[in-house]
Amino acid sequence: MILDEETLELRDMVREFVNNEIIPNAPKYEKKNEFAAPILDIAIDEMGLGCLCQPEEFGGAGLSNVAFLTLSEEIARGDLGIATTLFGNCLATYPVLIAGTDEQKKLWFDTLTEKKYAAFCLTEPNAGSDAGGVQTTAVPDGDDYIINGTKCFISNGGIAGIYTVLAVTDPKKGVLGLSAFIVERDREGVSIGKEEDKMGMRLSNTTEVIFDHVRVPKDHLLGKLNRGFKIIMETLDHSRAGVGAFGVGIAQRALEEATKYAKQRVQFGQPVANFQAVQHILADMAIEIECARQAYLHAGELIDAGAPYKMESAIAKTKGSDTAMKCAIDGLQVLGGYGYMKEYPLEKLVRDAKILQIYEGTNQIQRGVIAGCLLKKY
For the chain, list the domains and their CATH numbers: 5-115 (1.10.540.10), 118-226 (2.40.110.10), 230-377 (1.20.140.10)
295, with CB counted inside 10 A (0-12, 13-18, 19+), is buried
Using 50, 70 and 90 to split pLDDT, how confident is the model at 132? Answer: confident
Residue 280, pLDDT score: 98
Q: How many angstroms separate the CA atoms of 193 and 191, rounded? A: 7
State how far Cα 50 lies from the chain centre: 13
pTM for the whole structure: 0.96
State how far Cα 155 lies from the chain centre: 9
Q: Which residues contact residue 76 at a Cβ distance below 8 angstroms, ignoring those fewer than 6 apart?
A: 83, 245, 246, 247, 248, 249, 250
Q: How many angstroms separate the CA atoms of 40 and 29, rounded? A: 12
Q: Would you say residue 259 has pLDDT above 90?
A: yes
The single-letter code of the amino acid at 61 is A
Q: For 87-108, how does the pLDDT look when each residue is reduced to its tens digit (9 = 90+)?
A: 999 999 999 999 999 999 999 9
- CA–CA distances in Å: residue 72 to residues 93, 281, 314: 16, 25, 17
Distance between the two ends of the chain, CA-based, in angstroms?
Answer: 27
Handedness of CA 71, 76, 79, 80 (dihedral sign): positive
Using 50, 70 and 90 to split pLDDT, how confident is the model at 129? Answer: confident
Q: How many angstroms separate the CA atoms of 69 and 66, rounded? A: 5
- CA-angle at 87, arms to 292 and 243, nearest 5°: 25
- Once rounded to an integer, what is the mean pLDDT over residues 52-66? 93
- Once rounded to an integer, what is the mean pLDDT over residues 72-78? 98
Q: What single-letter DSSP state applies at residue 212?
A: E
Q: Which of 73, 208, 312, 360 is catalytic?
A: 360
The three-state secondary structure class of 64 is: coil
Q: Where are the beta strands (DSSP E) in the chain?
A: 118-121, 137-141, 144-155, 162-168, 178-184, 190-195, 206-217, 221-222, 266-267, 270-271
**Which DSSP string corresponds to 119-186?**
EEE--BTTBSS-GGG---EEEEETTEEEEEEEEEEEETTTT-SEEEEEEES-GGGGGGGEEEEEEETT
Handedness of CA 272, 274, 278, 281 (dihedral sign): positive
By DSSP bridging, strand 118-121 and strand 162-168 are parallel
Handedness of CA 255, 32, 89, 138 (dihedral sign): positive
The three-state secondary structure class of 101 is: coil
231 close to 91: Cβ distance less than 8 angstroms: no
Q: How many angstroms separate the CA atoms of 327 and 254, rounded? A: 6
Q: For 276-327, how does the pLDDT look when each residue is reduced to its tens digit (9 = 90+)?
A: 999 999 999 999 999 999 999 999 999 999 999 999 999 999 999 999 999 9
Q: Would you say residue 130 has pLDDT above 90?
A: no
250, with CB counted inside 10 A (0-12, 13-18, 19+), is buried
The three-state secondary structure class of 215 is: strand
Q: For 209-244, how does the pLDDT look when each residue is reduced to its tens digit (9 = 90+)?
A: 999 999 999 999 999 999 999 999 999 999 999 999
Is 30 in the active site?
no
Using 50, 70 and 90 to split pLDDT, how confident is the model at 1? Answer: confident
Q: Length of the chain in residues, anyone?
A: 378
Closest Cα partner for 237 from 293, 302, 310? 310
